[in-house]
Amino acid sequence: MYEKDTIVANATPLIPSAVGIVRISGEKALSIGKKLFSLPDNLEERKVYFGKITDRKGDVIDEGLFVFFKAPRSFTGEDTVEIFPHGSVPVIKKIIEEAVFFGARMAEPGEFTKRAFLNGKIDLTQAEAIADLIEAKTEKASKAAVNLLEGKLSKKVNQLRDTLLDLVSLIEAEINFPEDVEEIDPELIKTNLKKVIFQIDELMKTYRQGQLIREGIKLAIVGKPNVGKSSLFNALVGYERAIVSQIKGTTRDFIEERLIIKGIPVKLLDTAGIRKTENQIEKIGIEKSLKEVSEADIIIFVFDASEGIDEQDLEIYEKVKNKNPIIVGNKSDLILDKNEKKYYFKDVILVSSKTLKNLDLLEEKILQKLNLLEESDTDVYINLRHYESFKKAKDILSKIIKDFEFYIDQKEILMLEISEAEKNLEEITGQITTEDVLGNIFGKFCIGK
């Protein structure tokens, strides 16, 4: 068991609410709990008790509920007490203060989950999933986190690791007992390594989508002044967030708003109209807008469909074409000519911010550009830490396949290289890790989790 100080923290936010939770974990958890709460002598674990919560003087702090989880049948794997007072901020602070007086210390961010990991209750991917679930902004993000929490990535990683371990065992047996063990078929080794590389590739492909699902899309609207960028921005957001005016240069800085498009979080940016100007303030706004455009995941390039494309539009398009923008002709409700217009670009979505025509098609196009429109058949999405470990393992195994004739003649080196790739996979689940990695992961958690 992971032995350390007994820790205490609020497991619910310090805001007024109907109910709060104070969590205590460690070898002194029960003794501290008994000093805070009126309990029967024949206390049973996992049973809910109602009673008075008192301070060191015996004065009543509040009434509430009490539950004791005996090690190892608790979240942390240690003796754990949870007290449920009313969600009064002063009350919760007082209970924590008294717990500290009786021998606990304030928990660090993520320390309860860290102890759960160190005590073998969860692996590192599941610990990360808890943080993802807490921070999830959409149903898609929460579902992705739950899949990690259920160990679906861990299972895939362990299957890959087992394949490599089996190969290492066979090679080692051949090296140490050549007279008793048959020589391994080289094709068996190559086939299994190729399978592992393929499966790693499939998992690595989920990184970008997972990042967008968790963190969201940065989407910028660009174009010359008066093409209806702010009107389109307002239409997508659903209310009058940006000022709309016929006066050129109204938007002198970028404006941002957050919204959800088909379950994907989006940070939408309305940028300053890009044009040549002598106004110093407008120049600064345009420069800032171009910087935001360069950092955006996707661009909507807007022109006035009722007027068509001109040289100024094309100049702006040249600045953003490397971002593979979505081409949008706004103000389609003002088109007088019933004949289909030619707009220079092949793939144009005609929309109207006024009538909301084709906004649904635009939203679909946004997700299609990022391969987020269709439901993915994957059940896990990896993060950057997973990606880097997978890449290290893949690079080693790919090198073996490339120089296979050399490695098959040098079995000791082959065994060491496969073992190194297997250790890279162990980094993902936390079977091999460092204090720096743990500090980086658990330091991002909130207090009390």
Q: What is the pTM of this model?
A: 0.82
pLDDT of residue 244: 45
Lowest mean pLDDT, pick from 6-20, 239-253, 257-271? 239-253
Is the model's pLDDT at 277 over the cut of 80? no
The pLDDT value recorded for residue 251 is 45
CA distance 115 to 122: 9
Euclidean distance between CA atoms 286 and 319, whole angstroms: 12
Above pLDDT 90, what percent of the chain?
Answer: 58
* Of 308 and 158, the one with more pLDDT: 158
Strand partners, 327: 301, 348
110 DSSP 8-state letter = T
Other C-beta atoms within 10 Å of 226: how many?
18
Six token digits for residue 265 = 């979080």
The model's confidence at residue 248, banded by pLDDT at 50, 70 and 90, is very low
Stretch among 154-163, 189-198, 368-377 having the lowest mean pLDDT: 368-377
pLDDT of residue 324: 87
Higher pLDDT, 431 or 1: 431
The SS3 assignment for 78 reads coil
Could you tell me where the DSSP H helices lie in 382-442? 384-402, 404-409, 411-429, 435-442
- The confidence score (pLDDT) of residue 241 equals 58
| Structure confidence at residue 278 (pLDDT) | 52
What's residue 378's pLDDT? 75
Helix ranges (H only) for 274-431 are: 280-295, 311-320, 359-369, 384-402, 404-409, 411-429
> Mean pLDDT for the chain?
88
- At residue 233, what is the residue type? F
Alpha-carbon distances, residue 325 vs 209, 223, 306, 318, 369 (angstroms):
19, 11, 20, 11, 9
What is the C-alpha separation between 208 and 190, in angstroms, rounded?
A: 29
3 state DSSP class of 215 = helix
User: Is 186's pLDDT higher than 50?
Assistant: yes
pLDDT in tens, 288-347: 667 778 888 999 999 998 888 888 899 889 888 888 899 999 998 888 665 556 677 888
pLDDT above 60 for 246: no
- pLDDT on residue 285: 61
Q: For position 284, what pLDDT does the model report? A: 59
Whose tokens are 């990184």? That residue is 207
Euclidean distance between CA atoms 249 and 340, whole angstroms: 30
And the tokens for 99?
A: 């717990």
Q: What is the spatial distance between Cα 154 and Cα 141, in angstroms, rounded to a whole number? A: 18
pLDDT of res. 374 = 64
pLDDT at residue 2, rounded to an integer: 46
Please give the pLDDT value at position 88: 96
pLDDT digits (tens, 9 = 90+) for 24-61: 999 999 999 999 998 988 999 999 999 999 999 999 99
Cross-strand pairs, 348: 327
DSSP, res 219: E
C-alpha span between 344 and 12 (Å, rounded) = 56
> 377 or 267, which is more confident?
267
| C-alpha–C-alpha distance, residues 135 and 382, integer Å | 16
Q: What is the mean pLDDT of residues 367-389?
A: 84
pLDDT at residue 138, as a whole number: 87
Is the pLDDT reported for residue 121 higher than 60? yes
Q: Which two tokens stand for residue 149?
A: 């929490």
12 three-state secondary structure: coil
User: Is pLDDT at 252 greater than 70 in this prediction?
Assistant: no
Q: Burial of 12 by CB count in 10 Å (0-12 exposed, 13-18 middle, 19+ buried)?
A: middle
Average pLDDT over residues 1-14: 83
327, two tokens = 């081409």
Rounded CA gap, 130 and 221, in Å?
34
Mean pLDDT within 358-379? 83
Residue 247 predicted with pLDDT over 90: no
Whether 282 has a pLDDT exceeding 90, the answer reads no
> Which tops the pLDDT comparison, 353 or 85?
85
Instruction: Mean pLDDT check: name the lowest of 21-30, 163-172, 223-232, 399-408.
Output: 223-232
How high is the pLDDT of residue 444? 79
Q: At what angle are helices 111-118 and 124-135 packed, to 10 degrees?
A: 160
